[in-house]
Amino acid sequence: MRNRFDEQLAILNRELIEMGALCEEVISMAANALLTGDTELARKVKPLGGEIDQKERTIEAMCLKLLLQQQPVARDLRQISAALKMITDMERIGDQAEDISEIIGFLNGRTGRDCAPIGEMATATIKMVTESVDAFVKRDMELADAVVEYDDVVDELFDQVKTSLIGMIAKHPQDGEYALDLLMIAKYFERIGDHATNIAEWVLFSVTGLHRRENVT
């Protein structure tokens, strides 16, 4: 019975890795479309978002089946519960990549290159998503902690974006709408970083049984 359960957990991990890879791909596509002004590439994000939604449903069904049929012990129960939480965050990452790609369509051919920190934010959030899923699969608490701490980098880059866009509007008031669109895009990247942080915190819960925020006084 235990061997069968371990096999199903391994399949669950593979599905999570695949869902994480899809999240990385949609963020990368949205970022590349933003920096190149490639609206055709931006339109390819939405179908991948649909694949992420399907992965969420598949993994959710697997988790519920494990819970109902296998009667997992405490450690396994934490891992399955964490997976259920993680897929919610990953699905939202897909949604926010879609939101970014939609805004790109309104930039009238302009790119995000006028605001360099946005590209850096994209790179940082991809790193966070990749490492948070890796931490879950490897049960690597050190890596999960590093992801949580790295969110400060994304927050700092978001502050740099705001400063840059304020300067842009001051110098070129006619670019106000463009600047606001870039600010919205940056906010979505910042939210993606928050979701990656959530994933890492659930990794820590799956190993220790304590959520990181429970230790904050």
Q: What is the mean pLDDT of residues 154-172?
A: 95
Residue type, position 78, single letter = R
Greater model confidence, 186 or 109? 186
Give the span between the Cα atoms of 208 and 202, in whole angstroms: 10
Tokens 């933003």, located at residue: 34
Indicate the length of the chain as a whole number: 217
Domain range for 26: 2-215
Q: Which of 78, 201, 111 is nearest to 147 (CA)?
A: 201
How many independent structural domains does the chain possess?
1
Q: What is the mean pLDDT of residues 197-214?
A: 83
Q: Which of 75, 195, 216 is nearest to 139 (CA)?
A: 75
Give the span between the Cα atoms of 174 and 176, in whole angstroms: 6
Q: What is the DSSP letter of 174?
A: G
Give the span between the Cα atoms of 26 and 137, in whole angstroms: 21
CB 182 within 8 A of CB 161: yes
Tell me the pLDDT of the chain averaged across its residues: 90
Q: What pLDDT shows up at residue 76?
A: 84
Q: What is the mean pLDDT of residues 76-94?
A: 92
Q: What is the mean pLDDT of residues 129-146?
A: 91
Q: What pLDDT shows up at residue 216?
A: 37
Query: What band does 215 get if pLDDT is binned at 50, 70 and 90?
Result: very low
Q: How many percent of the chain have pLDDT more than 90?
A: 72
Q: What pLDDT shows up at residue 1?
A: 57
Greater model confidence, 153 or 134? 153
**CATH code (residue 61):** 1.20.58.220
Q: What pLDDT shows up at residue 44?
A: 95
Q: What is the mean pLDDT of residues 55-77?
A: 86
Q: What is the mean pLDDT of residues 19-42?
A: 94
Q: What pLDDT shows up at residue 186?
A: 96
Q: What are the backbone angles phi and psi of residue 26, rounded to the nearest 5°? A: -70, -35
* pLDDT at position 74 over 80: no
Greater model confidence, 211 or 170? 170
